Amino acid sequence: MAPAANRRERERKRHREEILEAAEAVFAEKGFHRTTVEDVAARAEFSVGTLYNFFSSKEELFTSLIEKRIEQLSTTVTEVLEEVKAPEEAVRVLLRSRINHAFRHQGIISLDLLEYLHDHPLKMRQKMGALREQIQNRLIEFFREGMASGEFRSDLDPFDMTIALESLSHGFLFEWLTNPKKVDLRDKYEVIIRLFFDGVRKR
């Protein structure tokens, strides 16, 4: 590819990223339904016509944003789990990384945006499902290792342990989304860890 073409491609990628960053900010402030393409274009300091050169609709813009964040979380999960060996440490690191990701992108996991995802783009649900399966499979491996080493109870099913951990963390996440003044998700990290490991550690 010629240098000029390379430069144009880099510039196009940069503009696309700028639009996505602006979109995340606007969606966080106004929610999906009240956000317009004009709002995002104004925040990104592009014309509406320029924005349409990158995204054909508000729906495509939003799903592209969610897809990018899912890919980022998937990469983070893969990296952090490759760095740890002990089962309990893996759970702690994974939970911490997911909480940090939720706080960095709090605006786009608000309830109305999650409702939109649930009701509409099949592709996004499939990607989120694939990420969930990836995390579940790694946790199951760690739980089996913990059982084999005597760290965890042997009378539990590793899949059930995974679902229990998900239920705990998602429950606190939901409370944080619905009542952030009452529940600080970061403060609940140790609560989730304690509740979970008190139930699965070998006595």
- First CA to last CA distance, the chain: 63
pLDDT at 68 over 80: yes
Q: Assess contact for 19 and 51: CB atoms under 8 A.
A: yes
At residue 179, the 3 state secondary structure works out as coil
Count CA atoms within 13 Å of residue 100 on its CB side: 11
Query: What is the pLDDT at residue 122?
Result: 67
**Domains defined for the chain, CATH in brackets:** 1-56 (1.10.10.60), 58-200 (1.10.357.10)
Longest dimension (CA), the chain: 66
How far is 175 from 160, CA to CA, in rounded Å?
Answer: 23
Whether the CB-CB separation of 113 and 27 falls below 8 Å is answered with yes
What is this structure's pTM? 0.74
pLDDT of residue 102: 82
Least confident of 17-31, 57-71, 141-155, 158-172: 57-71
